[in-house]
Amino acid sequence: MTTAKSRNPGDLPSAGRGRPNRARPTRPQRAALLAALVMAVVVLLTAGGCATIPTYGPVGKSDPLSPRNNSVNISFQQFAPVDGASPESIIRGFIDSGTGISDDFQVARQYLTTGLAQSWAADKRTLVYKNAFTVTPGPNKDTFEATFDVVSTVDATGVLTPAAPNATETVEMTLVQVEGQWRISKTPDGVVLTEATFQTLYNPVALYFYDPSFTFGVPDVRWLAGRTSRTATAIVRAMLAGPAPYLKGAVVSSFPNGIALERDSVPVNNGLAKVGLTAQPLLETSVKQRQQMHAQLLVTLQKSLNTVTEVQFLADDREVDMGGSADSVPPMVIDNPVPNVQVAVAKNELVSYDGSKTTPITGMDSVAHLAPTAPAISYSGKNFAFLNAAATQLYTVAPGQPVAVAANGVGLTPPSFAPNGWLWSAAGDGSGTVVAINTNAGVKDAPPVILTVPWLVGQHVTTLRISRDGTRALIISEANGVNRVSITGIFKSSDVPKELTAPNNLVHTGSPVLGVWVDDSSVAVMAPSATEPVVIEILDLARAPASLSELGGVQWLSAGSGVRNVHAQTSNEIYSLVGNNWDLTGKDLAQASFAG
């Protein structure tokens, strides 16, 4: 992007200077040229859609920026300050110049005093807003306040935090006169963008961290500015800063604390990303740890960029020892698939459902006398769980093993198995109580782990589902008529759960009650109804909410691997997605559930 500069009316291009002479166009030719230019401007403004009429300077040129689908190039006009501009015009011009990511915001810096232009850090924070903003005089002389309807905020490492409904934020700025022109002398670091502009300029990127067993890759979705030449650098910098707050303690990074980029650049040439790291921390790592670092970073870069095929670590510009083939570590398991067999209830017994037929579970004792509901199956397929009709008792059972009461409570949520065999449920009485039971062989008599989650106290919990990497939980809760869909991290000591982290709340519509994991970064949620049409909503950490086709009388849902494997269920029928429509695939069974 080239910098837009103000030009005085008298600063006209000089004649001659080695240029060939050209005949002046005739009046009809000039009229035709003017008409063509006007038409071109009209076409550009129409195509821009959200373009506005400038009020504070000549047009600045910006480099084309790729939107999220990388199929169309979009240019953002920027306008430099003009002589005599009012304080409000300076503030609005500065805010509207927050699109200049490709040239380090050179136009925006023209609205600042010289000192502030050098120190202002645009990448420290991004405030995303909707609707028009207001500018009003502040409490002190030459101060002004810009007030925004906030959609979300993004920190320096790309962590996006949705704003509360109807949230506003006021940004205070101080202006001074510099050679007779108003300039901003004080403003917070960061830029302010409209929701549409943010969606165009920023891309969701999944950083992958390990689960504590160094088996599964856990996505940590960040929003990074879409500068192609700088994306690899931004990804590595964000990864070295560690996981997002809600994942701290739940996931681990193979990169040691304190390690950093040796210089702020990660060049990518012919598919090779060369990552120069601070020498001492890098050289102090073991070969195994470097292999884990390599696996963690390579899968992250490959899933985010189609230009990276290999990663090379450098210390003092020299390649480090990565060992041989015998030192290689297994690749991260990404989006851990679930078995394709579900457990369901048919004639008050637990049965197996493979998508086409229902069969009894070999060796399973009858549970009909307990009127089972909300059945669950472990990833191994060897352990089962269910609730009684009143949701006050949680039972476990396995082929060849008797039914046992695993936990008691009020309004217990449908049980959920983690990949490591632990069974989870939460009380719906507002106590914030969460229970976890180790169902693995040899420890079945161990007492359950009881957690009290502070941020769930006072919440009526209706869903708790463990992710397929075992590090996170989907929790749906309600308080004072407000339904909340949250993703929380699971902090463990060895294999024993210790606490749930502060949640990451997902944007949703409606009033969801039930939910399941669809893949490693999305969930399906809904509000069940025995008679009314129900819409299942897909909530993704990297996308806006999306709704599936409505279906009447849906009371339960399950999901295999991916959105195409979401199943809507009535009291005795199960439906699968075929295209955009629901197709009846099973009858005379209820509450079919995949592992998890």
Tally of CB atoms within 10 A around 273: 24
The amino acid that residue 379 corresponds to is Y
Mean residue pLDDT of the chain comes to 88
The amino acid that residue 73 corresponds to is N
Best CA proximity match to 225, nearest among 343, 119, 103: 103
pLDDT the model gives residue 446: 78
Instruction: Return the percentage of the chain with pLDDT > 70, whole number.
Output: 86
Tokens representing 1 are 């992007």
- What is the pTM (predicted TM-score) of this model? 0.84
Partnered with residue 126 across adjacent β-strands are 154, 191
- ∠ CA(462), CA(455), CA(419), 5° rounding? 60
DSSP state string for 283-334: HTS-HHHHHHHHHHHHHHHHHH-TT-SEEEEEETTEEPP---GGG--PPPEE
pLDDT the model gives residue 46: 33
pLDDT, mean of residues 133-153: 97
Domain ranges of the chain: 48-200, 202-334, 342-593
What is the C-alpha separation between 477 and 205, in angstroms, rounded?
Answer: 28
Which residue carries 């570590």 as its tokens?
329
What is the C-alpha separation between 537 and 524, in angstroms, rounded?
Answer: 6
Banded model confidence at residue 75, pLDDT cuts 50, 70, 90? low
What is the C-alpha separation between 135 and 147, in angstroms, rounded?
Answer: 7
Partnered with residue 269 across adjacent β-strands are 272
Best CA proximity match to 198, nearest among 58, 53, 76: 76
**What topology does CATH give the domain 48-200?**
Nuclear Transport Factor 2; Chain: A, (3.10.450)
pLDDT the model gives residue 43: 33
CATH 3.40.228.10 fits 342-593, yes or no: no
Which residue carries 């084309």 as its tokens?
64
**CB distance 559 to 566 below 8 Å:** yes
What is the C-alpha separation between 237 and 276, in angstroms, rounded?
Answer: 11
Banded model confidence at residue 127, pLDDT cuts 50, 70, 90? very high
Best CA proximity match to 469, nearest among 206, 162, 154, 161: 206
The per-residue pLDDT for range 358-401, each reduced to its tens digit, is: 999 999 999 999 999 999 999 999 999 999 999 999 999 999 99
Answer yes or no: is pLDDT of 33 > 60: no
What is the C-alpha separation between 62 and 74, in angstroms, rounded?
Answer: 9
Helix, strand, or coil here: 25? coil
Lowest mean pLDDT among 7-21, 134-148, 227-241, 411-425: 7-21
The amino acid that residue 243 corresponds to is P
Banded model confidence at residue 29, pLDDT cuts 50, 70, 90? very low
Lowest mean pLDDT among 28-37, 106-115, 266-275, 359-368: 28-37
Banded model confidence at residue 443, pLDDT cuts 50, 70, 90? low
More confident residue, 447 or 137: 137
pLDDT the model gives residue 76: 79
Best CA proximity match to 396, nearest among 418, 371, 375: 375
Lowest mean pLDDT among 23-32, 190-199, 201-210, 290-299: 23-32
The per-residue pLDDT for range 467-500, each reduced to its tens digit, is: 999 999 999 999 999 999 999 999 999 899 999 9
What is the C-alpha separation between 66 and 137, in angstroms, rounded?
Answer: 37
What is the C-alpha separation between 340 and 286, in angstroms, rounded?
Answer: 39
Helix, strand, or coil here: 272? strand
Report residue 568: phi and psi, to 5°: -100, 140
